[in-house]
Amino acid sequence: MGSSWVVVALCWLGQLYADQSLKPQIAAAQLARNDPTLTTIALQKPFCVFDSSLHPNKSYTIYLYAMKESASAMSSLVMDPSSKPLDSTFQQTGGGQLGPYRAALFPVPTCAAPPRPGDLADVSRVSGVLQQYLFRVGDDGTCLYDPNFLDVCNPPLAPDTTYRFKYVLIDSTEGIVKDQTLWSDPIKTRRVKLPLQIDLWPGPRSGGMVVITSILSVLLFLLLAGFLAAVCPAVLKPEGPSAEAKNIPQTTQPSDPSPQLSPE
């Protein structure tokens, strides 16, 4: 992992603190490669978004809600008339089809405590640092099938499906919604590729590479054609007397027997 990657990460984190977004954002491509996947989407945590809503001597928690874009707008509310947050689950909402479900909860990120450059420069600590600033929706493949699981369930998302997300600030002292972001822009998971559509080439192909490949293919064809032109006449040339005829031994004429003298 080169130094250029670290510089990009530092620049991204600097922009994260400066830009107080009003809705969840998908993770930067430099920090979460291959995102979204078939069943997960990595989001930036809400740093510096709710600072103005925080008060001393109170405890707060962030809820992350998710729903499919196809869900009706009337069912996009995340609290009841008494400002209590919805506790709807993945199963109750049909995976977000009927409305938002609570996909995660975590402490309010501390805007006043940015990461130290030395932490990102240390390759062994990069993964842990990024986990503090990113959250991957759909990263729990076991909670749906564990009857003893009591925590918030964050099961895999559906492939080729568009979702929206919302961060909600919960006043844990009173158990009510204190603040919330807008719903995110639509974010779509990847679609399943058919075997014939899978690109097995190990890297990107430039225009120059395509031209070189075409030239080499033509040269290979010409070489093969020349080889066949040289071999075919020798193969089709008529043969002389067959070897079988050459190997027939010449029949020698028997010599006349000498007349034998009578003993008389």
**Bridge partner list, 65:** 102, 166
Q: Which of 125-134, 234-243, 255-264 has the lowest mean pLDDT?
A: 255-264
State the Cα angle at 83 between 82 and 89, rounded to 5°.
Answer: 110
**Closest among 144, 124, 117, 123 to 14, alpha carbons compared:** 117
Residue with token string 């002389």: 240
In a domain, 220, yes or no: no
Q: Give Cα 193 distance to the centre of its chain.
A: 12
Q: Is residue 1 a part of any domain in this protein? A: no
The confidence band for 16, taking pLDDT boundaries of 50, 70 and 90, is: very low
The Cα–Cα gap between 63 and 86 comes to 10
Mean pLDDT (whole number) for 82-99? 92
Pair 30, 8: CB distance under 8 Å = yes
pLDDT at 18 over 90: no
How confident is the model over 44-66, as a mean pLDDT? 92
**Structure confidence at residue 180 as a pLDDT band (50, 70, 90):** very high
Question: Is 5 among the domain residues?
Answer: no
Q: What is residue 155's predicted lDDT score, i.e. its pLDDT?
A: 94
Q: pLDDT tens digits for 221-230? A: 778 777 777 7
For residue 203, what pLDDT is reported? 54
**pLDDT at position 21:** 57
Which pLDDT belongs to residue 184? 95
Asked whether residue 51 is assigned to any structural domain, the reply reads yes
Residue 145 domain flag: yes
pLDDT at 204 over 60: no
Residue with the bigger pLDDT between 238 and 45: it is 45
Nearest CA-CA partner of 191 in 67, 34, 39: 39
| Residue 69: its H or E element | none
Q: Taking residues 93-99, report their average pLDDT.
A: 92
Is the CB of residue 75 less than 8 Å from the CB of residue 99? yes
Report if residue 103 sits inside a domain. Answer: yes
**What is the average pLDDT across 60-67?**
96
Residue 137's closest CA among 101, 113, 112?
101
Q: How far is it, in rounded angstroms, from Cα 20 to Cα 41?
A: 21
- For residue 144, the model assigns a pLDDT of 86
* Angle in degrees, CA 256, 257, 261, rounded to 5: 140
74 falls within a domain: yes
Q: Tell me, what CATH number does 85's domain have?
A: 2.60.40.10
Cα separation values, 143 from 61, 103, 153, Å:
21, 11, 6
Who has greater pLDDT, 50 or 11?
A: 50
Count of structural domains, the chain: 1
- Report whether 96 contacts 68 (CB < 8 A): yes
* C-beta of residue 27 within 8 angstroms of C-beta of residue 73: no
Return the top range by mean pLDDT from 139-148, 150-159, 195-204.
Answer: 150-159
Q: Does the pLDDT at position 187 exceed 70?
A: yes
Does position 73 have pLDDT exceeding 70, yes or no? Answer: no
Inside any domain, residue 34: yes
pLDDT value, residue 236: 64
pTM for this predicted structure = 0.65
Q: Which domain holds residue 123?
A: 21-192
pLDDT score, position 251: 54
User: What angle, 0 to 180 degrees and rounded to 10, lies between the N-to-C axes of helices 3-18 and 123-133?
Assistant: 20
Helix (H, G, I), strand (E, B) or coil at 59: coil
Neighbours of 204 (CB within 10 A): 7
Round to whole Å and give the CA distance between 229 and 119: 67
The DSSP bridge partners found for residue 122 are: none
Average per-residue pLDDT for the chain: 78
